[in-house]
């Protein structure tokens, strides 16, 4: 990337990353509170609530939110009036679709409760979940709008507020009205955040109240519409399958086991959210400039992502011990560790699919998702039925490996990019050595109070392994790929290790 674009992207990543780390720390405290307060049947209501919220933008969004991320950065440079018109058109259509979806769910209460949400036996609980669909759909739409405008600081604050405020209201509501009070708090807190940020960006969203040609918009967005369905079932299919096959108690355990994975994914999304708009901006200059920008991202992103996933896998038992206590931690440790490894693949595939999204055809990413789900859903059903909740991360990991190979093929077909993976393998080996050290120390003598000490020792082993395996060419490539603000740190580390 040109230095100005790279620095802007880096600043956006930093803002999103900081907000998500801070919000996840606070969210972790809420998670502990919810796990300790709620009965397993009540706890199982939470993944169903989030799955319903995610479904709100499924039926009538027509792929428009994703199209905004692709088109708005380019239009903001060349045609501000068309940009505002597209934002208004997209917001009106998608928000109307969110409300229509909630009304549809309200009218189909009986079959939904019978076949999907069988663990819910209260009309009030179901009605609050439907209201949560409006809050969740509104939030998802605003996220795409703010992301498309590349207002990363605002996106960081908004995501942090939406992560924390509903949970704070929900915790208060639980003490007033138990599970229904908790869900009402979720809805009220989410609505307040959405209203605040809709007002904040009203000059963009409602700046030109004129609908753009809808047929032309749908012609561009239809692959992303189909893709949205597939993404939803990829992200929430495990909850629905486990709920249907295993029941409420395993679903509650699975919900907790997946929390560490979702925290990691939220951090990697801080990078992914910046990649597509930045590449779209670079594509306005030339395909070669955009390809070089992607090459830098593809080299740098795995360096923190791989150690993070492998080290978190080694900390799975400690995480669960803190959240739910050792009595249940053994039952979910393997699931959590597998999901941590899947988080690495999620991050790598996420970066590559965003490059395909910008640099390839508008149907290319749809092909990736379809090929992934052809493998994922049969495996998910078979593995969950045979080995329980551990089958979900195994099925997802295998499908991600397929997607990883396919995205590399599409990128090489559309661009001149050639991968340089030697240093990435060195990072992987060093991470495994460090993680084995961390796991061995915990096995020798486990204590939550000693985890920071074990982490420091394992990090030292990781750095020492890198030092023994690296070459000058490795750091030269990394230094050239770094944004200007980070180059001095790379040079300092290179001098200290050569």
The C-alpha angle 94, 96, 98, rounded to 5 degrees, equals: 70
Token duo for residue 163: 């992560």
- In the block, tokens 């307060």 appear at 37
Contact between 343 and 307 (Cβ < 8 Å) = no
* Separation in Å, CA 16 to CA 21, 40, 189, 218, 335: 9, 33, 21, 30, 28
Alpha carbons within 13 angstroms on the beta-carbon side of residue 99 total: 5
Contact between 144 and 68 (Cβ < 8 Å) = yes
C-alpha–C-alpha distance, residues 490 and 439, integer Å: 29
Per residue in 6-29, pLDDT (tens digit) is 455 555 555 566 666 666 677 777
Q: Which of 243, 175, 231, 204 lies closest to 389, judged by CA?
A: 243
Token duo for residue 411: 């990128």
- The answer to pTM > 0.75 is no
Per residue in 374-412, pLDDT (tens digit) is 888 889 889 988 888 899 999 989 988 988 888 887 777
Per residue in 194-244, pLDDT (tens digit) is 999 999 999 888 888 888 788 888 887 877 777 777 777 777 778 778 877
139 Cβ contact list (under 8 Å, min separation 6): 53, 162, 190, 193, 194
Average pLDDT over the chain, rounded to whole?
80
C-alpha–C-alpha distance, residues 435 and 449, integer Å: 18
C-alpha–C-alpha distance, residues 356 and 388, integer Å: 34
- Start-to-end CA distance of the chain, whole Å, equals 28
C-alpha–C-alpha distance, residues 459 and 390, integer Å: 28
Instruction: Give the phi and the psi of residue 323 in degrees, each rounded to 5.
Output: -80, -50
pLDDT at site 3: 45
pLDDT at site 478: 67
3-state SS class at 417: coil
Contact between 165 and 190 (Cβ < 8 Å) = yes
3-state SS class at 441: helix
Any idea which of 250-259, 318-327, 428-437, 488-497 has the lowest mean pLDDT?
A: 488-497
Q: Which of 313, 297, 431, 425 lies closest to 356, judged by CA?
A: 297
Give the other-Cβ count within 10 Å of 301's Cβ: 21
C-alpha–C-alpha distance, residues 84 and 155, integer Å: 18
C-alpha–C-alpha distance, residues 152 and 185, integer Å: 27
Contact between 45 and 255 (Cβ < 8 Å) = no
Query: Would the CA dihedral through 382, 388, 391, 393 be positive or negative?
Result: positive
Any idea which of 98-102, 172-176, 274-278, 463-467 has the lowest mean pLDDT?
A: 274-278
Residue 127 clears pLDDT 90, i.e. is over it: no
Query: Would the CA dihedral through 211, 217, 222, 227 be positive or negative?
Result: negative
Residue 79 clears pLDDT 80, i.e. is over it: no
Alpha carbons within 13 angstroms on the beta-carbon side of residue 269 total: 15
């Amino acid at each position: 990337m040109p230095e100005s674009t790279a620095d802007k992207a880096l600043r956006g990543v930093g803002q999103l990353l900081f907000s998500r780390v801070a919000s996840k720390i606070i969210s972790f405290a809420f998670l502990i509170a919810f796990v300790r307060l709620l009965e397993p049947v009540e706890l199982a209501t939470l993944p169903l609530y989030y799955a319903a919220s995610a479904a709100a933008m499924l039926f009538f969004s027509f792929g428009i939110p994703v199209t905004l991320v692709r088109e708005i950065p380019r239009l903001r440079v060349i045609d501000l009036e068309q940009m505002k018109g597209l934002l208004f058109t997209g917001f009106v259509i998608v928000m109307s679709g969110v409300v229509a979806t909630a009304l549809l769910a309200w009218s189909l209460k009986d079959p939904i409760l019978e076949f999907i949400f069988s663990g819910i036996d209260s009309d009030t609980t179901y009605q609050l979940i439907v209201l949560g669909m409006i809050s969740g759909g509104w939030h998802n739409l605003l996220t795409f709008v703010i992301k498309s405008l590349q207002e990363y600081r605002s996106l960081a604050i908004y995501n942090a507020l939406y992560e924390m405020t509903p949970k704070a209201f929900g915790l208060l509501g639980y003490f007033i009205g138990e599970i229904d009070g908790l869900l009402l708090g979720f809805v009220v807190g989410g609505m307040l955040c959405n209203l605040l940020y809709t007002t904040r960006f009203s000059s963009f969203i409602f700046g030109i109240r004129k609908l753009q040609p809808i047929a032309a918009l749908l012609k561009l967005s239809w692959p992303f519409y189909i893709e949205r369905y597939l993404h939803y079932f990829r992200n929430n299919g495990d909850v629905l399958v486990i709920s249907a096959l295993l029941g409420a108690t395993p679903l509650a355990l699975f919900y907790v086991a997946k929390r560490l994975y979702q925290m990691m994914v939220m951090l990697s999304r801080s990078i992914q959210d910046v990649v597509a708009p930045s590449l779209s901006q670079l594509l306005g200059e030339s395909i070669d400039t955009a390809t070089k920008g992607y090459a830098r991202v593809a080299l740098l992103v795995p360096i923190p992502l791989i150690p993070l996933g492998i080290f978190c896998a080694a900390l799975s038992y400690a995480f669960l011990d803190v959240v739910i206590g050792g009595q249940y931690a053994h039952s979910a440790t393997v699931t959590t560790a597998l999901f941590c490894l899947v988080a690495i693949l999620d991050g790598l595939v996420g970066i590559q699919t965003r490059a395909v999204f910008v640099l390839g055809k508008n149907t290319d990413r749809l092909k990736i998702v379809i090929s992934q789900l052809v493998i994922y859903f049969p495996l998910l059903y078979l593995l969950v039925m045979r080995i329980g909740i551990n089958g979900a991360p195994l099925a997802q990991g295998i499908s991600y490996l397929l997607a990883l190979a396919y995205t590399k093929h599409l990128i090489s077909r559309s661009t001149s990019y050639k991968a340089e993976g030697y240093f990435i393998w060195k990072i992987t080996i060093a991470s495994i050595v460090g993680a084995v050290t961390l796991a061995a120390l915990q096995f020798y003598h486990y204590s939550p109070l000693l985890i920071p000490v074990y982490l420091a020792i394992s990090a030292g082993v990781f750095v020492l392994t890198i030092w023994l395996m690296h070459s000058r060419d490795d750091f030269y490539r990394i230094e050239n790929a770094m944004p200007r603000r980070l180059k001095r740190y790379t040079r300092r580390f290179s001098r200290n290790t050569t």
